[in-house]
Amino acid sequence: MTKHRAANGVFTITGALATTRSSHTATVLADGKVLVVGGTDKNHLGLDRAELYDRKTGTWNPTGSLRVARVAHTATLLASGKVLVSGGRFGPDSINTAELYDPATGEWSTTGSLKVARSSHTATLLPGGLVLVAGGVGTQDFPDRVNTAELYDPAIGKWRATGSLTLDNGRESHTATLLEDGTVLIVGGITFGPFMAEGAELYDPKRGRWKATGAPGQVRAGHTTTLLRNGKVLVVGGVSSNGPSAELDSAEIYDPVTRIFAATGTLNTACNRHTATLLRDGRVLLIGGFKDVTRGGIRRGSTLTRAELYDPRQAIWSVTADLNEARGEHAAALLAQGTVLVAGGSKSRRNQFVALKRAELFRSETK
């Protein structure tokens, strides 16, 4: 039987974002500052604004604005120190543009466009410096998921097609994890129509091909995957269908050697659209997310204040301090001194979801 115990930790309020936002990205730059990009504002409109968090002062400062407002995009820190932002949605439609942020100037510049417009995709920096983009949702002309993948070469600023995913109907809201051998693991997501994407697959950058690997015990989307220090991958939470009360409290471990998924400790609270951050001591911090609740006989969406810690050595989830403000679709980033920055997101209020400005810092006990 899985055991749960309390663990020490604390969330403290830090400087508020300059712009209310949800479903944005957060990238830790080489100088330790955190770049937050895009997302949706309090009116659920896409943002072109970006800002920087300075951990030394605990404040946010606006930086150069994107050329195109976008949400459901990806942000990737390149070897050069620049940040590549690709795809996403502008209004209801997915876009194929990409931009580069230069921390030295605080400005954005356009770079090569994706071969295929996509949002809710993944982007992974490969060992050789290329960026692998996979899956996502297409345009209004092709609104279903796409199964294509492509590679961005920072040296020339261009994209080229690579092998397509094994699922003909593609997947979105999946996860991508770079394994220690240089391959990329794709897990879960949603495929054609409302159907969940089954199975998992591996991308081999040497051959430019995808192949199926061991299947997870549970189909899921809106989950997280984290590469542990032992080289295995922790898969957590999400939803098992597009219906109500489908949030999951289950977690699995993928072993790249055996290519098998195995169940691990159960969460204290089911959740989806949360964040998972690998701490310096090897534990994983799970923060916030969404969970349906029933009030007055009516099922409503709710955001969570809870946070949990996973200890890979014991396969145990421990309840830790609550957030100061419930949130999902937020961003989390591990800072240089080992604290975790939690910024923005959405909060359920009066049966609606509102975007947030507040940010918090988590500090855990030393283990």
Q: Can you give the residue ranges of every domain in the chain?
A: 66-213
Nearest Cα residue to 225 out of 270, 189, 269: 189
What average pLDDT does this structure show over 142-168?
A: 92
Structure confidence at residue 92 (pLDDT) = 86
Three-state DSSP class for residue 195: coil
Query: Does residue 82 register a pLDDT over 80?
Result: yes
CA pseudo-torsion sign 119, 141, 143, 89:
positive
Quote the mean pLDDT of the chain.
92
Nearest Cα residue to 112 out of 96, 131, 130: 96
Any idea which residue has 């194929």 for tokens?
Answer: 96
pLDDT, one tens digit per residue, over 19-64 is: 999 999 999 999 999 999 999 999 989 999 999 999 999 999 999 9
**Interior/surface letters 167-185, b for 16+ CB within 10 angstroms, e for the rest:** beebbbbbbbbbbeeebbb
Q: Is CATH 2.120.10.80 what the domain over 66-213 is classified as, yes or no? A: yes
Any idea which residue has 């309090």 for tokens?
Answer: 42
Question: How far apart are alpha carbons 170 and 40 in whole angstroms?
Answer: 25
DSSP 28-61: E-TTS-EEEE--B-TTS-B---EEEEETTTTEEE
pLDDT, one tens digit per residue, over 206-247 is: 999 999 999 999 999 999 999 999 999 999 999 998 555 579
**All residues at 6 or more sequence positions from 157 whose CB lies less than 8 Å from its CB, including other chains:** 100, 111, 112
Q: What are phi and psi of 253, to 5 degrees?
A: -120, 130
Percent with pLDDT over 70 in the chain: 92
Secondary structure of the chain: what % helix, strand, coil (to 5)? 0, 45, 55
pTM over 0.75: yes
